[in-house]
Structure formats: structure tokens, C-alpha cells
Amino acid sequence: MRTTVERVAVLIGVAAALAGVVLIWLADVKYDRQLTELRQVQDELNTIQTRRGTYQRLVQNLVAYSQSQPAIDAVLVPFGFKAAAQPQQPAASATAPSALGSVPAAQPATSTQTPVVAPKTGGRQ
């Protein structure tokens, strides 16, 4: 009778060891898959950070260039890289409202005025 109990115990021990090996192998496969995915994401992140640094340097160079060539402001302002230049306010003149609260006459809108439109650059916003 002792031999039958020993055989069952050995079979259960071997089955438990085999199950442990299979579980460790499955965990390793899952770990390898996740590690591969992590490396791909890190490569993408590195590419994005490199491009972002390049784009930032490009914008800084464009803003510096716009100081000597203000014509490029038409490209920089619509994308928010540079603030729009505020028109000079004339000094207090005869057309300014007086302290008594008089309101100057409104200028009628003419059809010859064209709306200001941002240039088409083909880039994403």
C-alpha cells in the first residue's frame, strides 16, 4: 500500500513542478512581449522629442529673423508664434470723445474692405 501512496505523491509532485514551469514560461513570454512594446514606445518618444527640439529651434530662428524681416510676421502670427503688432494709438486729438461723454459718429462699413485671412501653408494646426 505504501508504494501506491508514494507513486501518487510523486505524480502530484511532478505535475505541480510541471505546472510551475509552464506558469513561469507563460510569464516570461508576456514579459518579453511587454518589453518589446516598451522599447517601441521609447523609440517613438525619442523621435518625437528630437522633432520637437528641431521645431522649437526653427521657430526661435524664425522669430529672430522676423526682427530684421517683419514681412514673415504674416506666417508667425496666425500660428501663435508671435503676437500681432498693435497699431500705434494717435495722441489725444480733436476726434477723441470729450470728457462730457459725446460719442463720435460711427464710420459706415464699405464693401471695398477685404477680410484678413491667414496664409495657406498646408500644415496641420
- Residue-wise pLDDT tens digits, 89-118: 665 555 555 555 555 555 555 445 444 555
Query: What's the burial of 67, exposed, middle or buried (CB within 10 Å: 0-12/13-18/19+)?
Result: exposed
Half-sphere exposure at residue 20, Cβ-oriented, CA atoms within 13 angstroms: 6
- Cα-Cα-Cα-Cα dihedral of 54, 58, 59, 60, to 10°? 100
Distance in angstroms (rounded) separating the CA atoms of residues 74 and 100: 40
- Tens digits of per-residue pLDDT, 8-36? 999 999 999 999 999 999 999 999 999 99
pLDDT for residue 75: 86
Cell numbers describing residue 34: 511587454
pLDDT for residue 72: 87
pTM flag (> 0.85): no
4-35: string of b/e by CB count within 10 Å (b at 16+)?
eeeeeeeeeeeeeeeeeeeeeeeeeeeeeeee
